[in-house]
Structure 1
Amino acid sequence: MSSAVSEQRVLSGMRPTGSLHLGHYHGVLKNWVKLQHEYECFLFVADWHALTTHYEDPRVIEESVWDMVIDWLAAGINPGSATLFIQSRVPEHAELHLLLSMMTPLGWLERVPTYKDQIEQLKEKDLATYGFLGYPLLQSADILMYRAGQVPVGADQVSHIELTREVARRFNYLYGREPGFEELVEQAIQKMGKKSAKLYRSLLNKYQEQGDESALETAHALVREQQNITLSDKERLHGFIEGSGKVILPEPQALLTPASKMPGLDGRKMSKSYNNTITMRDSEDDVMHKIRTMPTDPARVRLTDAGDPEKCPVWQWHLVYSDDSTRNWVQQGCKTAGIGCLECKKPLIDSVQEELKPIRIRASEYAGNPDLVKSIVAEGCEKARDAAKQTLEEVREAMGLGYF
């Protein structure tokens, strides 16, 4: 795959560990719906990743897989625009993970910030396992398998993309220098034509001798524009200017997503472990009950007591769902005791119901047609395996395993 194509490919996944809620919808799914129209998207159910923390009781994974895919489709993911698949149905992920583990230094995994953070947060679980230590490398294999140029992540996940970049760089350095690499590069430069060849050599000197990053970007752009050289030659030229070999596994970029502003019903992060969620398929009655019973500013004991919206979890929801005029009405009414807490919650109930109504309808349609859901995923798995096999063929060849 060319670097130009790689840059237009996005990969993202989600662990099936329970019902999806509004935090997932606002934090991930709305972004996926947008990205599917801008990039070639591969979206997968990360069931192997779920096993790294739920290996003792995997029933929740089995129960959640199909419900999660239905929620994705209900949220607006279009199987005609994005490839949906299940990680464990593409066994090439496991092989690439194994092969990458042969050359990945142990220290790289131990220093991933989320490794220590999760061990601290999940003290009740025994996470002293090989699988848990290696899960960031499995993530790297997921990304590199599809040569995804863009990976949508929050700020707390950027370290995983950095690890993936380091793994790709090390792989290309170790295995990208095929026999006669320099001669093949020289032939590729000559095929570019005199003008482009001269410019490429000039940019090469600027980057390698002066560290000029803009020269590196310009050189990559120049190579991508070439019409009269093969994709393999392009990858050799991309790798050569960076001082490595042929780019077999392109380095991905983190596509930073805005932090989810969807708080839980109690003001903390929305999480099923806090029991403070509204799920994407909650009934109208459940939504109404949950919002009506949300905690409010403790200073408002009686209806006539003035309150402070900044101290009230309900206000955080108005910041997500309400327009400026409604927010002004809340601020004025709360501080002067002009409105009661139930009155304040009514616009939120209406907005959440309006948002969830089409999602519930689509979810009901897909839930009533499980064969359709399974066929969508089966087709996605087939497409994902085709791409994965192509990558693994080149990886095996580069590592000296192409003798079958």
Structure 2
Amino acid sequence: MHTLENKTTCTIAAPISGDKILTGDRATGPLHIGHYVGSLQQRVILQDKYQQTILVADMQGLTDNGYHPEKVSSNILNVVADYLCVGIDPAKTTICLQSSIPALAELTMYYANLVSVARLQRNPTVKSEIANKSFGKSIPAGFLTYPISQAADITAFNGTLIPVGEDQLPLLEQTNEIVRKINAIAGEEILVECRALLSKVPRLPGADGKNKMSKSMSNSLLLSASEQDIKRVVKSMYTDPKHLNINDPGQIEGNVVFTYLDAFHSDSKYIETLKRQYQEGGLGDGHTKKILEECLQDFLRPIRLRREMLMNDKAQLLSILKEGTERSQDEANQVLRRVKNAFGLNLF
């Protein structure tokens, strides 16, 4: 017997007129250049063409930090500052706070009654993250159910196009399963299914070349990185371990320095020339790292200065977040009313 849970439901698509973008980040730390390459630069472009909401996901940040809530609460404004310093405009993009929109928690509760524990445990993204975090048998219930919370976020803002990486596709599939179940209960389409907008940019590896970029692994470069931070991280970057002498032919694949040069250097033809020199022999790692450091210093300097100004005016950051959250309440409440009607719970 086939059920809704067995169907692949997430369409991968390009934006179309009228799409509503929903995206966001867990507030567990300042954002880094991996976030910039993977999502932030795309959001800056999307905000000029589409209605876009960015959710600061503080409640989801607690799903694996419940005993250390300060890690989340202390980083909410850090994340907002990171958005603004790279060019996200609150006049074009609504920035809101998850915990200050009660409808999201209520929707999560209703949706949770339609999803089995076994289904959550089968979700490949959840399985992978549980393994990475080494929970063992002590998996917080909030962490196991965060795909349901994510479904509440997407549907509350009528998100139709969700920018994600390929590893997040199972989460969107689960959202669409919930949408169809709610619509079946309602007997009409009260929620819309979402589609994935996959980034064309490959995920930026950490400086160690072994793991994805993560502050907890000390292999990341924050958007707020100082000149000394940049120098230190670039110096430590993984290159080609067999490239022992300048005249030895070097390998480009897996060489983090060249991966970052591809992502951040403005002159792609120059980088292609460097690659040929490195592969043929005659170009040292010290020289390529110097080029990359100069490139990253130039890229991050204006971002860091804008961010410092923003963090010196936290009242402005709070005002922007409060205004965006208040704007979001109405839309989320309308969706909540429709879902409650489907369950027959709007008695007064």
Q: TM-score, normalised by structure 1?
A: 0.76
Report the Cα offset of residue 83 of structure 1: 0.6
1:79 and 2:90 correspond: yes
Q: Equivalent residue of 2:188, what SS?
A: coil
- Matched AA of 1:372: Q
What CA deviation, in whole Å up to 9, does each residue of 1:117-144 have, x standing for no partner?
1221111576423222211111111111
- Cα separation, 2, equivalents of 1:33 and 1:125: 39
Q: Which runs of 5+ in 1 are unaligned?
A: 176-244
2:275 partner letter: Q
1:194-209 map, 5 Å: none
The CA deviation string for residues 286-327 of structure 1, in whole angstroms up to 9 with x for no partner, is 212321343432334344544333363322223323434323
Task: Choose 72-81 or 330-339, whichever is displaced more.
Answer: 330-339
Aligned to 1:357: 301
Going from structure 1 to structure 2, the CA distance change for 1:354 and 1:246 (only over 3 Å counts) comes to same
Which amino acid letter does the alignment assign opposite residue 384 of structure 1?
Answer: S
Secondary structure of 1:103's counterpart equals: coil
Q: What's the counterpart of residue 276 of structure 1?
A: 219
CA 1:38–1:346: 2 relative to 1, 3 Å: same
1:247 aligns with 2:258: no
1:19 deviates by: 2.3
**Mapping 1:176-325, distance limit 5 Å:** 245-268=187-210, 269-310=212-253, 312-322=255-265, 323-325=267-269
Looking at secondary structure, tell me which structure has more helix per residue: 1
Rounded Cα–Cα distance in structure 2 between residues aligned with 1:39 and 1:148: 11
CA offsets per residue over residues 43-63 of structure 1, 9 Å max, x none?
011111111111122221112
State the Cα distance separating 1:347 from its structure 2 match.
Answer: 2.2
What is residue 331 of structure 2 aligned with on the other side?
A: 387
Aligned equivalent of 2:166: 155
Q: SS of the counterpart of 1:14?
A: strand
Aligned to 1:18: 29
Q: Distance in 1 between matches of 2:238 and 2:111?
A: 49
- Mark the CA change 1:279 to 1:114 in structure 2 (over 3 Å): closer, same or farther: same
1:120 alignment partner in structure 2: 131
Q: Are 1:102 and 2:113 matched, yes or no?
A: yes
Which is further off, 158-167 or 394-403? 394-403
Q: Cα–Cα, structure 1 residues 94 and 324, in superposed 2: closer, same or farther, change >3 Å?
A: closer
Distance (Å, rounded) in 2 between the aligned partners of 1:82 and 1:135? 24
How far 1:102 sits from its partner (Å)?
Answer: 2.5
Q: Read off the aligned partner of 2:183 and give its amino acid letter.
A: N
Q: Output the amino acid matched with 1:117.
A: S
SS of equivalent to 2:22: strand
- In structure 2, what residue type is equivalent to 1:342? G
Per mean C-alpha deviation after superposition, the further-off stretch among 303-312 and 345-354 is: 303-312
In the other structure, the counterpart of 1:242 is: none
Question: What secondary structure sits across from 2:184 in the alignment?
Answer: helix
- Local SS of the residue matching 2:233: helix
| Cα distance change of structure 1 residues 262 and 366 upon mapping to structure 2, 3 Å threshold | same
Distance in 2 between the 1:304 and 1:162 partners? 51
Q: 8 Å contact 2:182–2:339 — kept in the other structure?
A: no
Per-residue deviation, 1:247: 1.3
Output the CA distance in 2 between the equivalents of 1:162 and 1:311: 31
Q: CA RMSD in A?
A: 2.2
1:231-252 alpha-carbon deviations (Å, 9 max, x no partner): xxxxxxxxxxxxxx32111111
Question: Unaligned regions of 5+ residues in structure 2, if any?
Answer: 1-15
Deviation at 1:341, TM superposition (A): 2.0
- The reply on whether 1:8 has 2:19 as its aligned counterpart is yes
**Structure 1 segment 391-402 matched on structure 2, within 5 A:** 391-402=335-346
Q: Take 1:161 and 1:304, find their aligned partners in 2: how far apart are those partners?
A: 49
Partner-residue secondary structure (3-state), 1:286: helix
C-alpha contact 2:17 2:50 (8 A) present in aligned 1:
no
Shift in CA distance, 37/133, structure 1 to aligned 2, threshold 3 Å: same
Which residue of structure 2 lines up, in the alignment, with residue 53 of structure 1? Answer: 64
Q: Does 1:38 align with 2:49?
A: yes
Give the structure 1 partner of residue 6 of structure 2.
none
* Distance (whole Å) between structure 1 residues aligned to residue 245 and residue 255 of structure 2: 15
Q: Which residue type is aligned with residue 20 of structure 2?
A: R
Distance 1:166 1:345, change over 3 A: same
Change (3 A) 1:310 1:399: closer
What's the % identity of the aligned pairs? 35
Q: How far apart are the structure 1 equivalents of 2:70 and 2:137?
A: 18
Deviation, 1:101, is: 1.9
Range that drifts further, 353-362 or 155-164: 353-362
Contact 2:250 2:281 in 1 (8 A): yes
In structure 1, the residue corresponding to 2:49 is in which secondary structure? coil
More displaced 10-residue stretch of structure 1: 136-145 or 110-119: 110-119
Where 1:55 maps in the other structure, the secondary structure is: coil
SS of corresponding position for 1:120: helix
Quick one: structure 1 residues 127 and 27, their matched pair in 2 at CA, closer, same or farther if it must change by over 3 Å?
A: farther
Aligned to 2:13: none
Q: Which has the larger radius of gyration?
A: 1
SS at match of 2:340: helix
Deviation at 1:73, TM superposition (A): 0.7
